[in-house]
């Protein structure tokens, strides 16, 4: 199997000079920035909790193509080789390079063979509907000569979380449910999903500077496909995007995920039942009292141990407030109303101000834990709504509290 010839680079530079609309631009970014490239702008349907990338850093990048010949013009690319090579003209049937990185055992179960040069992007997320989806296409230099020859490069989009007892691959054909590999999608099998890329032989009537062959190295690719999965709203899931070489580590393959296409695509769900359930799971951490649900609002009292005549958050309450911040991170599209209360000592006016400052202190703490202040409203009720009318020190301590109302 050959490696890229030096003339490839010269040809690519010539094509880029002659045909500006054929260029592909690549940019390396960290895993968080790459995932943000996939999210719709101004979308509140999905929030990313964590990201991680495992592979050679040259195997993943954002890309932009000025050509309309590809199924996707911008997004991210994950490759078993150098991502930048995808943007050269298709002047060689044997393009690729070894990255000398490990394979992936999960992909080996799909391919039925040993893998190498794996590129893996992990995304931990929460969505507010019952479905998540995104668009992509797969391309490979193994087309067409190595179809069914034991070098079946493979990729998958694994999802795991509530409702999935084991890893589930959502990169499947919509018609047959087969995984998408070189052997499963080609000119002979499932050909309606296959696009051939003819070899580039320089400028000609059949191969103008704007042709697919002039801007894209891979010998074949799939049409634009959609991956989607049913999920439980406001539950944490992990999406693992993975691709690897099979049989050899020279000929490259790549998967291209469309920019701004990763979205929460299902029906919006009432937040109340999910929120109440999650509060109950964390109740020993939050220390919530009197949980109550009214439509899409869930309220609870939380005793904040303010000292007398003080609005400073005490160390003993930080653990429970951290749990509230974690809850609001999961319910990322919910808002919070904080209502401060005092005991019965002092004037109405003084206690009203003090109760407002107590609510504001809680808001400030949650801000420091990553909850944007635009999601929080604060107010004070002074001593007007005690939970107990007893006048002992213990009763007054209970009345020095903040009420939490989480709503959508």
pLDDT digits (tens, 9 = 90+) for 214-224: 889 999 999 99
Q: What is the pLDDT of residue 210?
A: 64
Q: Which helix (H) or strand (E) holds 272?
A: helix 271-281
The residues with which 124 forms a beta bridge, in sequence order, are: 50, 238
pLDDT tier for residue 52 given thresholds of 50, 70 and 90: very high
What pLDDT does residue 7 have? Answer: 34
Model pLDDT for residues 235-258, shown as the tens digit of each residue: 999 999 999 998 777 789 999 999
Of the candidates 224, 233, 192, 33, the residue with the CA atom closest to the CA atom of residue 123:
33
Please, what is the average pLDDT of the chain? Answer: 87
Backbone CA torsion sign across 332, 337, 342, 346: positive
Of 132, 122, 117, the C-alpha closest to 170 is 132
Q: What is the pLDDT of residue 289?
A: 80
Q: Which two tokens stand for residue 58?
A: 């040259």
pLDDT of the residue at 63: 96
To the question of pTM greater than 0.85 for the whole model, the response is: no
**Does residue 204 surpass a pLDDT of 70?**
no
Q: What are phi and psi of 312, to 5 degrees?
A: -80, 135
Beta strands in 80-130 (DSSP E): 115-127
Phi, psi of 26 (to 5 degrees): -120, 145
- The mean pLDDT value for 265-270 works out to 81
Q: Give, in order, the Cα–Cα distances in Å from 262 to each of 88, 175, 270, 312.
A: 27, 22, 22, 42
- Distance, C-alpha 386 to centroid of its chain: 44
**Which residues neighbour 43 within 8 Å (Cβ) at sequence distance 6 or greater?**
263, 264
Range of weakest confidence among 22-26, 52-56, 153-157: 22-26
Give yes or no for residue 10 having a pLDDT over 70: no
| 279 phi and psi angles, rounded to 5 deg | -65, -45
- What pLDDT was estimated at residue 209? 59
Pairing label, strands 220-222, 131-140: antiparallel
Spatial distance between the Cα atoms of 373 and 147, rounded to a whole number of angstroms: 56
Q: What is the pLDDT of residue 14?
A: 34
Question: Is the pLDDT score of 352 beyond 90?
Answer: yes
Say which CATH topology domain 271-407 has. Answer: 60s Ribosomal Protein L30; Chain: A; (3.30.1330)
Q: Are strands 376-380 and 24-27 parallel, antiparallel or unpaired?
A: unpaired
Q: Which of 7-21, 136-150, 170-184 has the lowest mean pLDDT?
A: 7-21
pLDDT for the residue numbered 119 = 96
pLDDT attached to residue 387: 83
Give me 196's structure tokens.
Answer: 């051939």
| Helices vs strands, H then E, count in the chain | 9, 19
354-383 residue pLDDT tens: 999 999 999 999 999 999 999 999 999 999
Bridge partner list, 196? 220
Instruction: State the pLDDT at residue 21.
Output: 39
Query: With 80 as the cut, is the pLDDT of residue 160 above it?
Result: yes
Give whole-number Cα distances, 27 to 64, 206, 336, in Å.
Answer: 9, 31, 39
| CATH 3.30.1330.60, the chain: domain bounds | 271-407
């Amino acid at each position: 199997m050959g490696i890229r010839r030096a003339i490839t680079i010269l040809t690519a530079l010539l094509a880029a000079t002659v045909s500006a609309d054929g260029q592909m631009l690549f940019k390396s970014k960290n895993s968080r920035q790459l995932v943000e490239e996939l999210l719709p702008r101004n979308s509140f349907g999905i929030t990313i909790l964590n990201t991680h990338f495992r592979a050679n850093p040259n195997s993943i990048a954002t890309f932009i193509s000025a050509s309309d010949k590809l199924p996707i013009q911008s997004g991210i690319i994950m490759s078993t080789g150098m991502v930048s090579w995808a943007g050269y003209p298709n002047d060689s049937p044997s393009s690729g390079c070894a990255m000398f990185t490990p394979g992936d055992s999960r992909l080996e179960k799909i391919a039925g063979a040993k893998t190498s040069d794996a590129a893996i992007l992990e995304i931990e997320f929460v969505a507010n509907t019952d479905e998540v989806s995104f668009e992509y296409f797969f391309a490979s230099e193994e087309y067409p000569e190595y179809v069914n020859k034991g070098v079946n490069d493979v990729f998958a989009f694994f999802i795991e979380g509530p409702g999935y007892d084991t890893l589930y691959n959502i990169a499947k054909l919509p018609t047959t449910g087969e995984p998408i590999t070189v052997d499963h999608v080609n000119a002979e099998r499932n050909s309606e999903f296959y696009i051939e890329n003819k070899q580039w032989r320089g400028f000609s009537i059949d191969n103008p500077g704007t042709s697919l062959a002039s801007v894209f190295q891979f010998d074949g690719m799939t049409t634009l496909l959609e991956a989607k999965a049913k999920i439980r709203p406001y539950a944490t899931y992990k999406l693992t995007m993975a691709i690897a070489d099979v049989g050899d580590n020279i000929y490259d393959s790549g998967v291209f995920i469309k920019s701004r296409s990763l979205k929460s695509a299902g029906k919006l769900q009432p937040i109340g039942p999910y929120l109440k359930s999650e509060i109950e799971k964390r109740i020993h951490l939050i220390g919530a009292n009197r949980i109550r649900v009214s439509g899409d609002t869930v309220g609870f009292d939380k005793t904040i141990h303010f000292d007398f005549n003080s609005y400073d958050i005490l160390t003993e309450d930080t653990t429970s407030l951290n749990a509230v911040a974690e809850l609001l991170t999961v319910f990322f599209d919910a808002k919070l109303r904080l209502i401060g209360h005092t005991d019965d000592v002092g004037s109405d006016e003084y206690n009203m101000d003090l109760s407002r400052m107590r609510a504001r202190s809680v808001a400030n703490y949650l801000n420091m834990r990553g909850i944007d202040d635009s999601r929080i409203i604060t107010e004070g009720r002074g001593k007007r709504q005690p939970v107990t009318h007893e006048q002992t020190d213990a009763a007054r301590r209970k009345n020095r509290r903040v009420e939490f109302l989480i709503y959508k």
